[in-house]
Chains A and B, each alone.
Chain A
Amino acid sequence: DTAVSQTPKYLVTQMGNDKSIKCEQNLGHDTMYWYKQDSKKFLKIMFSYNNKELIINETVPNRFSPKSPDKAHLNLHINSLELGDSAVYFCASSQDGGDTQYFGPGTRLTVL
């Protein structure tokens, strides 16, 4: 069983489009995250949600809007996509009060 899953795995789109990436975890965790990994493999946190409440917002452009319908899901919607948004986006989750984060398989976003 997949613990943290993301869809789609690959996403190719044109500049200016709006797209969403979905994340689900079946670990029973309370906290979920979005990370961005650039072409140099550098991983940087974007957002974290705890029990559907936004906890961390790392000065990400407001074109990025996370949404957590319930504590098992954290989706990422991106408006007006730009070339610089091309990256691999990872979802992660952790137990409330815990430090260990478990990552999904990633979504490779390519903006043309």
Chain B
Amino acid sequence: GESVGLHLPTLSVQEGDNSIINCAYSNSASDYFIWYKQESGKGPQFIIDIRSNMDKRQGQRVTVLLNKTVKHLSLQIAATQPGDSAVYFCAENGGLTGGGNKLTFGTGTQLKVEL
């Protein structure tokens, strides 16, 4: 079946360094991708999204890159801070939108920021 997967379950970075979290997807029909941050004991929090007609999108300290050729998505966090420590999920919509929207989530990457 279709799946969304992450390359690394845990990523440790030094405070101030840049973080890169990767995600591979297999559903070529997906045209919407989203990154969530989940802190311990909380629900997933929207970080940034991107549509398949774009290759790159920037937010505040975060950038999402989409490579449709190899079905790869990445989240870059600049100047990583202790507050960035969390589990990060990528998700894709499988080409479904609107009322039938169903996000398929990846397995998550735990980001640990070391002081």
Contact = CB atoms under 8 A, between A and B. Distances in A.
Interface string B79-111: 000000001010001000111111111011000
B66 interface: no
A57 to B, nearest CB: 11
Contacts of A105: 42-43
Interface residues of A, number: 28
Given A41-B107, A42-B107, A99-B101, 17 more contacts: A41-B87, A42-B108, A45-B104, A48-B100, A48-B101, A51-B99, A55-B99, A55-B100, A56-B102, A58-B102, A94-B101, A97-B98, A98-B101, A99-B32, A99-B34, A99-B103, A106-B42
A100 B99 contact: no
Interface residues of B, number: 25
Contact of B89 (A43, A48, A55, A97): A43
B64 to A, nearest CB: 13
Chain B interface helix/strand/loop/mixed = mixed
Interface string A74-112: 000000000000000010001011111111111000000
Given A41-B108, A45-B103, A100 B49 contact: yes
A32 to B, nearest CB: 11
B45 interface: yes
B43 A90 contact: yes
Contacts of A24: none
A50 interface: yes
17 contacts: A31-B98, A31-B99, A41-B87, A43-B44, A43-B89, A50-B99, A50-B100, A55-B99, A56-B102, A90-B44, A96-B99, A98-B97, A99-B49, A99-B93, A101-B101, A103-B36, A105-B42
